[in-house]
Amino acid sequence: MPDQSSSLSKITRPYLFRNGAMIHDLPEKDSKIINESAKPKLLKRGEVLFKQGTVPRSVVWLISGKAKIFQETPGGQRQTVYIYSDGDLIGYRQLIAGEVHPVSAILLEDSTIMLIPAGTFKGLIDTSPKFARNVLSALARDFTVWMNRMTVFTKFPVKRRLILALLILHEQYRISGSPPGVITITRTELSEYVGASLETVVRVLNTLKTKDLVQINGRRILIKDIEEMVMMMEGEEV
């Protein structure tokens, strides 16, 4: 029988980009070009990285922290498309394609980022075969993740989507070194991520709390029984 960590990884892996791998294991000269192109800087929760409809000028390397990308309707309704964590790169697809950002990006917590200039990023694609292969691999994986997320978050009922979202976030926070099982996110941010009304998400969270699966304290959500949550996702019904 698979252990808890392998079962959790099996469930969450199809929904995580992990595209930061594209700048790992590069030749020393390529890494030097990236590191000399910009310096890391610390930004506060709530700071905007870029806005929907703007032209990409750089690629955001989220060295540590959390950020979300979201689309906003003319009426002001938001849908969170993805939540990034340590090591991820944000906005590189639009830069490569020469398109405007279809989403906005904002920090969910105090984070350290580096803005890799467009010229540096594109230049490495042209001059570094290793980097070009890494980018191609990341693009292919990102596409698969988008398809997986689209299928799940349009067909699953809200309770199942919420449990999956909590497990995905748990894995991201765990990798970031947060206290085991602890997720820091507002109810509104969570409802925008799940794609459900705030009232529905709060109701389902309270159901999970009543079953002693989660503990809630302000923005902090502690998953108390990962094994049971994983089993619920692996079952036919939730």
How far is C-alpha 150 from the chain's CA centre?
14
Tokens 């709060």 belong to 202
Rounded (to 5) percent helix, strand, coil in the chain: 50, 20, 30
* Domain boundaries, given as residue ranges, for the chain: 4-152, 156-234
Q: Contact, 21 vs 138, CB < 8 A?
A: yes
- Residue 30's closest CA among 130, 111, 106, 104? 130
pLDDT (tens digit per residue) in 14-58: 999 989 889 988 999 999 999 999 999 999 999 999 999 999 999
Backbone angles phi, psi at 75, to 5 degrees: -85, 0
Check for a shared fold between 4-152 and 156-234.
no
CATH architecture of 4-152: Sandwich (2.60)
Q: Are strands 67-72 and 220-223 parallel, antiparallel or unpaired?
A: unpaired
pLDDT of 3: 55
- Residue 130's closest CA among 225, 16, 24, 10? 24
CATH code of 156-234, in short, is 1.10.10.10
- Residue 216's closest CA among 229, 202, 226? 202
H or E stretch at 4: helix 4-12
pLDDT of 35: 94
pLDDT-derived band at 7, boundaries 50, 70, 90: confident
Q: Are strands 48-50 and 104-107 parallel, antiparallel or unpaired?
A: antiparallel
Strand partners, 177: none
d(CA 69, CA 49): 9
How far is C-alpha 206 from the chain's CA centre?
24
Residue 237 reports pLDDT greater than 60: no
pLDDT (tens digit per residue) in 154-202: 889 999 999 999 999 999 988 777 676 789 999 999 999 999 999 999 9
Residue 75 reports pLDDT greater than 90: no
